[in-house]
Amino acid sequence: MGDATVKSLKQAILDLPADQQQQLAEEILPLLLTTRAGVKGIDHVLQALSDEEVDTLVERARTRAKDIPEDTIAAVIGEALRAVRTQSRS
């Protein structure tokens, strides 16, 4: 998928009504977060956060994502944390 396609999809999402954006986020975001690119995105965000901010983020994710299995949340967060640790050792 090229850069133009991604930009087009992004704009199409931004043009959706708020309720449809929310539905899309609920149905697609969990899937995207389990991809390698999603994990890299999480890794990038986690690098900029303090431990307290990461703890808050984890609890917020658990509270908001009650329909996502706990093991999926744990796997995504765990992979992102491993990636951060690996990069900090390099």
| Host domain of residue 49 | 34-89
Verify that 18 and 47 share a domain, yes or no: no
Verify that 81 and 42 share a domain, yes or no: yes
* CB-based contacts of 33, cutoff 8 Å, min separation 6: 39, 42, 76
Verify that 20 and 52 share a domain, yes or no: no
Q: Total structural domains in the chain? A: 2
Higher pLDDT, 7 or 62: 7
Query: What Cα–Cα distance (Å) separates residue 35 from each residue in 40, 80, 81, 89?
Result: 9, 11, 15, 23
Verify that 40 and 67 share a domain, yes or no: yes
Verify that 19 and 42 share a domain, yes or no: no
Closest CA to 83 of 55, 42, 53, 43: 43
Verify that 18 and 57 share a domain, yes or no: no
pLDDT tens digits for 64-82? 767 778 787 778 777 777 7
Residues of the chain above pLDDT 90, percent: 13
Which pTM was predicted? 0.46
Is 70 exceeded by the pLDDT of residue 87?
no
pLDDT for the residue numbered 17: 95
pLDDT tens digits for 55-64? 887 788 778 7
Verify that 19 and 40 share a domain, yes or no: no
Verify that 55 and 80 share a domain, yes or no: yes
